[in-house]
Amino acid sequence: VGSGNSKYSSLSFSLDSEITLTEAVAPITSYSGTFDGNDHAIKGYRNSGYAKPGEEADDDMFVALFASLDGGTVKNLTVEDYSVSFPDGIGDTNRYVSVVVGELINGGHVENVTVGEGKVVSPVRAGGIVGKIGAGTSTKQNVISNSYNYADVSTERLGSSGDTYGTAGGIA
């Protein structure tokens, strides 16, 4: 799914055991299936870049395990020992950094998800579990339930004198 192969983007997956990643991985660009962690953890997540689900030059850019959760569900998952950051040298607008979901749209669901201790820092916008909640093209309601964030979440823009452009949220 992260390689852009859309034939897997709507399938359902479940973890049978904990996963420990040893290399940085690309965000899953757009996912509409169900990812059930079965109360297991993904440890060692590091992003190898960002994803841009849209095709316009000024579209949003996301750093997260799932760049866009488009009507899909992520549930029963813990993410620990992560390192997320936005690559240097990319424009400073429309950038979102989070650990699990970059963009929650079209009736996406995040249920029973925990982000362990750590730091989430973005040049502009940051969220512990979800970076951005949007409407998309659906009237379905996006839902985040029974989810917990233990990360420190901040943006560089909020610390700038007189600059209120940055936003940061513990959950979203």
Percent of the chain with pLDDT over 70: 85
pLDDT of the residue at 128 = 96
Residue 6: phi and psi, rounded to 5, are -75, -10
Residue-wise pLDDT tens digits, 124-147: 889 999 999 987 788 899 999 999
Phi-psi label, residue 146: left if phi above 0, alpha if psi -120 to 50, beta otherwise? left
Structure confidence at residue 13 as a pLDDT band (50, 70, 90): very high
Q: What is the pLDDT confidence band of residue 63, given thresholds at 50, 70 and 90?
A: very high
The better pLDDT of the pair 51, 18 is held by 18
Full-model pTM: 0.90
The sign one gets for the Cα dihedral 122, 127, 130, 135 is negative
- In the predicted model, is pLDDT for residue 2 greater than 60? no
Q: Which amino acid is at 91?
A: G
